[in-house]
Structure 1
Amino acid sequence: MNGLPDKKDLTRWNRSGLRRFRYVDGNAIIFLETLRQAQRDSFTESGKLQWQSLETAIAQPSNETAEQRQARWLQQYHAERRDYAWEILRSYARAVHILGEYLDAYANETFIRTATQWRHVRRLVNMLDYHPAPPASAQTPIVIMAKDGKSGTLTAGFTFKNAPEDGSKPSVFETLNDLDVDSRMNEIRVLDWNKSQIDFVYNDSTRSAVFPLSAPVEDISVGTPGMLLVDVGTQTKGLAVKVTGVSNQQVILQGENRPAGFPQVSKRHQVRLLLKPDFKQSPRISGDNVVILKSDHGLSENAVIAWKSGSTWIAAIVKEIQNDRVRLSRTAPVPGTALYLTAFSDARDMNVGGSSVRRVILPLVDHREQWGLFDENLQKINSYATYNQDGQPVYTYKNGDYYDRVYFIPKDSASVTAEAVATVLESKPQYMSFDGDPGMLSTGDWLIVQTGTGGRAAVVTALVENEHDYQLEFSGAFSADGIMLFAQFEVELRPSNYDVNETPVFLIEPQHRSDNHSFLPLALIQFPELLSIGRKLIVEGKSSAMAVMVKDIDLLNKRVKIEPAIPGSELTGSGVTNDYTRYYTKIYGNVVQSGHGETRKEKILGSGDATRLNQQFDFDVEQISFVADPKFPNGVRSAITIQIENRTWQQVATLNDSGPEDPHYAVRMKEDGTLQIEFGDGVHGRRLPTGSNNVRIIHRVGGGLSGNLAANSLRKAVKPDPLVEAIYQPIPSSGGNDMEAVESMRDNAPGSILALDRAVSLADFSHLAARYSGVWQARAYQKSSVRKKHIEVAIVPAGGGKPGGLADAVSAYLRNHALPGVAIQVEPFEPVILDVRVVIRVKADEFDPDLVKEEVLQTLAAAFSLKNSRLGQPFYLSAVFKVVEGVTGVANSQCEINPDGFFDTDGNPVTTRLITRGIDGAIKRVSVFDYQAVYIDRALSVIDITAQAFDL
């Protein structure tokens, strides 16, 4: 038979590794040779061939190889022969080929692992009581910002949408529940959120401090006076300083010894620095030696005045004059005292009785006040008189050997009293008075009192404004002599990040930490009524946000208990966080769940017929929304409501468990994405009552991967509402997925038979989580726990990205199918971004290198996309070679993966289970943990492809 086996059928067993069975072993060429040999035997009589055309027209070597035989058969098939019977034979071989291919295709469609057509796979999995997962609608909690001062109930169905930058159709979302809103719940902050806890230190030994700046300050130079203020409890303490150094990052301050109560170490939020005083003024003189006179007193500085205290004369020098204020060289007299201007006489040599003597000649007593005589030191003295022959006084004098000058109070005659030059209006003023008006200066302002020994801080305690002047009182005891006041500072600085509290938002004491909950201290004086147990909140940190629920409220200590726990606050956590710090964390109280889709008007589904069993209706509306429901096999149910004779019927996953009177219905997906709705047969589920157009339906439209939006995508309300000012979406929408594809059904259907809708083994959890409509793939693994079984499930959300609220939905779905006491934690998978460096060699005379290069890029991105990756699956360098060299035009290649290491989507290094390298140091294999997936991200992966000419 020339090497062709003698067989009665054309089927064969398949070798391992094939994705499809090959039921037909042959093609038209082989079939023609088989027919030729069979006919040759039939047309041979007595050893002689009767049909000569059956002889091969091609010489057959005696030692023919398999390759030569295939070439001969191929030439035989295509050769032209002028023989009608041969042409009939060849046509028959071609017909058998076509029929065989059809049989092969249909045979493959009868087996779940090889079927490719959706309807065939659906029929196969239906035999396992498995139904294709419907498309899921994305969901996300949405923040409602109520108008200021508004409160009330926002009914379900409030719609909003995104604004795609590419101009595509926006995705419409709507709220799924009623929500009681209150503007006081718009944004809640935690206690001390804007109070930095970083230490600010005043160095006692050097009397200096470093004041950090958040930005450079202009017009500040060395020597600028300032005031350093620190809030201590309900009081503020001040310290006078001056600038000794300035840079863009800091100001160096030099000050005085710390006054009482001024802390050496404080917190940045307590500190302020006042610089560049605009007010600079010296006060008018005051004190025990100052008198206030009428402004026309006529006195001048250094004049000697005298006054009478009782029966005693006292003299003083005028030391300083400021308008109506006069400072004396001694304690001032009481108000009402008359002041007299003195004259003086100096000592001189004179001849008395033929002798030269030195005397201070004074007026006679009648021309001066008798007892108002003073020496140079203004000490009171008595005079001596010189008389003539008649005993009359000639003059009075003082001995010039003892006195160089004598002061006296002159008058015109003995009968005339000396004339006062002024009368004391006010004596010893202790307050500080200033000329003009105080401008913007007011009580409570800080000022620097600059004296000869340095500056001191004070605060204005009283201010009285008069017509032409004003008076100040301030803390501390100061003499007005020689002082200068600085106030009304133009520049007020706060230390850099003074309002940034980087401490954790949660309480870190051991008694407040748990793996299940966290305690948050709130900056609320009075808690709104709506902030109650069971209230849903969103806690937003620096770079992420999470939905939580209020579990308890401590009004006395003004804090709330929330679940789940904020990362880092768990007993097993670090107790620190870089994300959920007090400054960056915001708590939103008006939170409601929203879903992709928009509710449409009621439609008539059809008419009921009580005589029919399992009556079915096709609802030919595409993109029906599906909402999360853990009781359903795929974790979602269709967002439809069916009413029959004003009664709302209940949607169930299957009618198998429904009773005869249960008003239930089941929903199945059709291949075109529309719905088929089935009612009961009177045994499993109630039959429909007979009626005309009595089956009515309300539905929502919107679903699929397009609803998986990044955070802050949903911004615009479709229609305004009197309660709503704005909306905010801090958490990405997730859970949206298209209808289950054939590949997914192939994997999930067999697993569902093993799981039987309950989760016991890790494989059960993996299969059930992967079956959830919003999940591309899942993998369960177990963590050891002393008290109970703890299951971790890593999921890849449909469309990739962050899981958002999908993790909670999948967790609830798994708990609904798990045994009691099993702790389930659904976590996002950890990305391991694949970088590829490839050198391809292309036959440039046959292929365009640029086109081949682009094809390699597209093929790599598709082959190793996230959807095609597998959690926990090791990655081999050989897989890259297989894909690259499978592209038409690539003769051979050199490939390398992740030469710079492995990173996640945020650029952080990733630790994998094991990396295997070749002798050249290149990575040959990377083994990952169960929660990791290696894949190419078109936006993040570095794909370096170099094309070279191929030379033999």
Structure 2
Amino acid sequence: MTADCSCTSGTACSDGAGCSGCADDLAAANLPGQSELHWRTAPHGAALARMRSWLAGDSQPLDIRSLSHQGTDDPAIALLDTWAVVTDVVSFYTERIAQEGFLRTATERDSVRQQARSLGYELRPGVSAQAELAFDVETAPGSPEVVVVPAGTPVQTVPAPGKLPQTFETTAELEARAAWNSVAAYDRVGQPFGFGIDSVWLDTTTSGVKVDDRVLVVGSERAGVAPGDAHSDAHEKWDFRRVTAVDVDPLHTPGWTRLTLDRPLGYRRSRNLVAEKDVRVYRLGQRLNLFGWNAPDPTLLDSAKVTSWKDFDLKPGSRELEVDGDVPAIVPGSWLVLEQPGHTEAFQVESVNPDGATKYALSGKLTRVTLDISEHLDDFDRNHALVHAVSRELPAAWMPRPDLVGSTAPGGGHVLDLVPTEPVLPKGREIVVTGTTDTDESAVEATRLTAAASTADGVMTITVDPPLANAYHAGTVRVRANVAVATHGETVEQVLGSGDGRRAFASFDLRRPPLTFVRSTTVASGAVPALEVRVEDVEWTRVDSLFEAGPRDRVYIVRQAESGTTTVTFGDGVHGSRLPTGVENVRATYRVGIGEDGAAEPDQVRLPVRKPRGVASVTNLGPAHDWAPSETLEEARLTAPQRVRTLDRAVSVTDYEDFARGYSGIGRARADLVWDGRIDTVVVSVLASTGDAPADSLVADLRDTLDDARETRAPRVVLPAEVVDVGARLRIEVDPLFEVPLVRGAVEEALLTAFGSMELATPLASSAALVVAAAVPGVVSVTMPELTGGPVDDLLVAEPGRWGPPASAPAAAPRLLPAQALRLTAALLDVQVVAR
């Protein structure tokens, strides 16, 4: 029997050559792909049996062989039993140590971390959240015209119950102006007036128009008619209508008023008598009468011997009109309309003279009006005619833009028309677009302004990238242009300690965890620590490893422990320079805060710690995004070997996938080679570490980082993957010995754990759901699950990257579509319990 025998059974080796049989047993117990390592070389029973076997060997004296059959109460066997306990303990810890030495079987995160470091890979520590902060500048008189918000301006969150406030700091200096607080979209077009129009838009909310008011729609055709002109269609190009409804601030059109008319404009389509040139809309605010409208019937007067009043009828060819009462609001140039049953005519006032008269058995004031034409004036009589006068022009030149802006615009969501500002918005500025979408939902989008210019017609056209993803009602769109990008993390200054030139690899711990990591496109991991180390006021450089550093290189490395403590380590004089001797000459400026703690909701980041002069308020219009948690143990098992496969480069299609999967903030990734009819294109589809589609900024950063690590001649597209929510219906039978609610909850939890976060382009079969549900303790039987959300009942297929028609424009050219990821959700999961 050899000392290194590896038998795991309770019998002695039958192989005289040693323990080859035992080694075979261990190999059989440790097949490739196992999650645990079986390396118990000497458990208690096996060790004691081997020692008893050695005592019973033929080479031993008879009295020694007789001991092998004694019980553990025999002193000699008790001693062997004690050593068997020792071997069992040693064997247990040997197995544990061996298990931590393999990437697949290690259970300690620090073991995986150390193995990854041997490959040049550092576990991802997480990434701080990012938010777009919109600053409002004071508009009161005396306020500064330009407000400069310095880089690093801190703004805290309003903490939720039980939470601590989190600090966000701006990443760059911002020049803010009051004119850029909230810029409205150019939401108007010229208002058409044609046959059949039954409503009029007013560019105001204080028009004063009420229901049952009268409006006159008239153009330059009628206004240009001169006295004595022969009658033509120009005399009839006007419309007089009654207002039946007044809608102030209609849906999606704030700041406008819509008047509904009692009947559409026009006489009949075959004779289009509708104003077309320089059309104006007037409200006729007073309804008056002609002088003499209340004159008594002369035949009722006994003393009179006349049957009618002299000059009571309006004279043919006359352009004079006597309006009852003194009406100073009637002025030259205004419009009035005469109306009586069966007849209506519009006239423009040329002159006005206040007067009085005594006739028709009446005496009183009147207003003598001279009209522009006499056409049909004598068709009216004093008793029945109404005079609609005192015209006031309404702002009806414009109407709200009827089409949507954003993704459905002809040029897509790249271009947006705004009300011009002074000065014009500068290029490269971060902006936030808010508005109501075509589905009547409020939306917030952050993007970057790439160009802006004012046009001759008073419109400021801006170009943005990334393009707007939503289609908006133009009247609801507001562009917040005083926007600064801020990342989660509070700045801390710390004296790390004193340098000692005698110490090799001097190390110092940062006092406050966790160290903030911010997104960066300059490294393959996509994140760098927000840390600055200065020695005697000279900044030293952070490197990934000291191995390649020279003896004079002022460099340091950053390492994190499982406790969250961050350690800064300097060189030994061979690999990196040693610290110079001094007193408290090593200082660090860093930020603390990372991961989910910075996942702020909209309007939660709004407490400025230091408010710049001239700033009225600040808030985040959208939720914080792009944060990522620390890399988990299971994620590290998968991503650590990718460093060796890619070497921070992307050459093959698999390299693209491995590179993206190792990027901070990316949880799942897939690369496909898609033929577009001309050339093969690498389509990289990614999901965020939270399992949702990543933000545009994260996709853009990954795209830029990937471009620096690949052959740029090869076409590539990076797209956010599409998450498809699916459901399942199944019935289970529960063992009577188990509690039904607990078993049902366990089944739901098992299904959501197994299929709530599936890999990209991975199908889901009913049989797979059946196996998971049946494995739950307490489940006696399960019906075949019915899957919902796909084209068939027994298999849901998630598609990889492919070409397809755009959803918004089926007739347009095809576009690249991302890969899909199926996700079983609790809302669509129906687990029913049937009686046994």
Class of the TM-score when normalised by the shorter of the 2 chains? 0.7 to 0.9
SS at match of 1:942: strand
Q: How big is the shift at 1:747?
A: 1.1
Which of residues 751, 762, 771 is equivalent to 1:860?
A: 751
Counterpart of 2:831?
Answer: 945
- Is contact 2:450–2:465 with CA below 8 Å preserved after alignment? no
Q: How big is the shift at 1:796?
A: 1.8
Residue 21 to residue 695, structure 1, CA distance change in 2 (3 Å): same
Distance 1:263 1:656 in 2: 85
Aligned residue identity for 1:770: R
- Is contact 1:608–1:693 with CA below 8 Å preserved after alignment? yes
- Is contact 2:72–2:81 with CA below 8 Å preserved after alignment? no
Which of residues 153, 156, 180 is equivalent to 2:151?
A: 156
Please say if 1:886 is aligned against 2:772: no
Counterpart of 1:239?
Answer: 239
Residue 493 to residue 890, structure 1, CA distance change in 2 (3 Å): farther
Residue 832 to residue 255, structure 1, CA distance change in 2 (3 Å): closer
Please say if 1:484 is aligned against 2:396: no
Distance 2:220 2:569 in 1: 74
- Is contact 1:836–1:895 with CA below 8 Å preserved after alignment? no
- Is contact 2:406–2:471 with CA below 8 Å preserved after alignment? no
Counterpart of 1:847?
Answer: 738
Q: How big is the shift at 1:836?
A: 2.6
Distance 1:91 1:116 in 2: 30
Residues 13-22 or 733-742, more deviating: 13-22
SS at match of 1:732: coil
Counterpart of 1:12?
Answer: 27
Paired residues, what number?
741
Q: Deviations over 1:865-908 (max 9, x none)?
A: 33xx3222232333323332333222332352533x24xxxxxx
Unaligned runs of 5+ in 2: 1-8, 203-208, 225-236, 251-257, 301-305, 357-364, 438-442, 802-818
Aligned residue identity for 2:387: L
Counterpart of 1:253?
Answer: 263
Q: How big is the shift at 1:450?
A: 0.8
Q: How big is the shift at 1:498?
A: 5.9
| 1:274-285 map, 5 Å | 279-284=286-291
Aligned residue identity for 2:178: S
Residue 634 to residue 498, structure 1, CA distance change in 2 (3 Å): same
Please say if 1:837 is aligned against 2:733: no
Please say if 1:535 is aligned against 2:429: yes
- Is contact 1:788–1:821 with CA below 8 Å preserved after alignment? no
Aligned residue identity for 2:241: V
Q: How big is the shift at 1:107?
A: 0.8
Counterpart of 1:120?
Answer: 111
- Is contact 2:219–2:276 with CA below 8 Å preserved after alignment? no
- Is contact 1:449–1:455 with CA below 8 Å preserved after alignment? yes
Counterpart of 1:806?
Answer: 698
Which of residues 571, 580, 585 is equivalent to 1:694?
A: 585
Q: How big is the shift at 1:260?
A: 8.1
Identity level (%): 23
Aligned residue identity for 1:20: E
Distance 1:595 1:662 in 2: 31
Distance 2:125 2:646 in 1: 20
Distance 2:406 2:324 in 1: 51
Which of residues 154, 166, 172 is equivalent to 1:177?
A: 172
Which of residues 97, 102, 105 is equivalent to 1:111?
A: 102
Counterpart of 1:377?
Answer: none
Residue 764 to residue 458, structure 1, CA distance change in 2 (3 Å): farther
Q: How big is the shift at 1:645?
A: 2.8
Counterpart of 1:934?
Answer: 822
Distance 2:74 2:335 in 1: 120
Aligned residue identity for 1:284: F
| 1:895-914 map, 5 Å | 895-899=784-788, 901-902=789-790
Which of residues 384, 388, 402 is equivalent to 1:501?
A: 402
Residue 32 to residue 925, structure 1, CA distance change in 2 (3 Å): farther
Q: How big is the shift at 1:728?
A: 4.1
Q: How big is the shift at 1:691?
A: 1.8
| 1:721-732 map, 5 Å | 721-732=612-623
Aligned residue identity for 1:533: K
Residue 856 to residue 458, structure 1, CA distance change in 2 (3 Å): farther
| 1:606-645 map, 5 Å | 606-645=497-536
Q: How big is the shift at 1:125?
A: 1.1
Aligned residue identity for 2:474: R
Q: How big is the shift at 1:113?
A: 2.0
Q: How big is the shift at 1:134?
A: 2.0
Q: How big is the shift at 1:750?
A: 0.7
Q: How big is the shift at 1:618?
A: 1.6
Aligned residue identity for 1:116: T
Q: How big is the shift at 1:23?
A: 2.6
Q: How big is the shift at 1:751?
A: 0.7
Residue 786 to residue 749, structure 1, CA distance change in 2 (3 Å): same
Please say if 1:820 is aligned against 2:712: yes
Which of residues 470, 480, 494 is equivalent to 1:588?
A: 480
Please say if 1:796 is aligned against 2:687: yes
- Is contact 1:735–1:775 with CA below 8 Å preserved after alignment? no
- Is contact 1:273–1:494 with CA below 8 Å preserved after alignment? no
Counterpart of 1:313?
Answer: none
Q: How big is the shift at 1:110?
A: 0.8
Residue 283 to residue 830, structure 1, CA distance change in 2 (3 Å): same
Which of residues 195, 199, 212 is equivalent to 1:202?
A: 195
Unaligned runs of 5+ in 1: 55-79, 214-218, 287-297, 304-316, 333-427, 569-577, 903-914
Distance 1:458 1:101 in 2: 109
Counterpart of 1:546?
Answer: 446
Aligned residue identity for 1:22: H
Q: Deviations over 1:892-925 (max 9, x none)?
A: 32352533x24xxxxxxxxxxxx6x6xxxx4145
Q: Deviations over 1:88-122 (max 9, x none)?
A: 66665555444333222211111122212122111
Which of residues 250, 254, 262 is equivalent to 2:274?
A: 262
Please say if 1:521 is aligned against 2:417: yes
Distance 1:251 1:108 in 2: 84
Please say if 1:140 is aligned against 2:11: no
- Is contact 1:777–1:795 with CA below 8 Å preserved after alignment? yes
- Is contact 2:127–2:665 with CA below 8 Å preserved after alignment? yes
Q: How big is the shift at 1:718?
A: 4.1
| 1:35-184 map, 5 Å | 50=66, 53=69, 95-148=86-139, 150-184=145-179
TM-score of the superposition, structure 1-length normalised?
A: 0.67
Residue 2 to residue 257, structure 1, CA distance change in 2 (3 Å): closer
Aligned residue identity for 1:933: A
Distance 1:83 1:265 in 2: 122
SS at match of 1:878: helix
Distance 2:565 2:281 in 1: 67
TM-score of the superposition, structure 2-length normalised?
A: 0.75
Aligned residue identity for 1:830: E
Residue 243 to residue 84, structure 1, CA distance change in 2 (3 Å): same
Q: How big is the shift at 1:670?
A: 2.1
- Is contact 1:788–1:822 with CA below 8 Å preserved after alignment? no
Please say if 1:227 is aligned against 2:118: no
Q: How big is the shift at 1:927?
A: 4.2
Distance 2:313 2:763 in 1: 99
Distance 1:46 1:220 in 2: 124
Aligned residue identity for 1:694: N
- Is contact 2:686–2:719 with CA below 8 Å preserved after alignment? yes
Q: How big is the shift at 1:736?
A: 1.5
Aligned residue identity for 1:872: A
Distance 1:273 1:202 in 2: 18
SS at match of 1:834: strand
Q: How big is the shift at 1:831?
A: 0.9
Distance 1:748 1:265 in 2: 71
Residue 176 to residue 847, structure 1, CA distance change in 2 (3 Å): same
Q: How big is the shift at 1:786?
A: 7.4
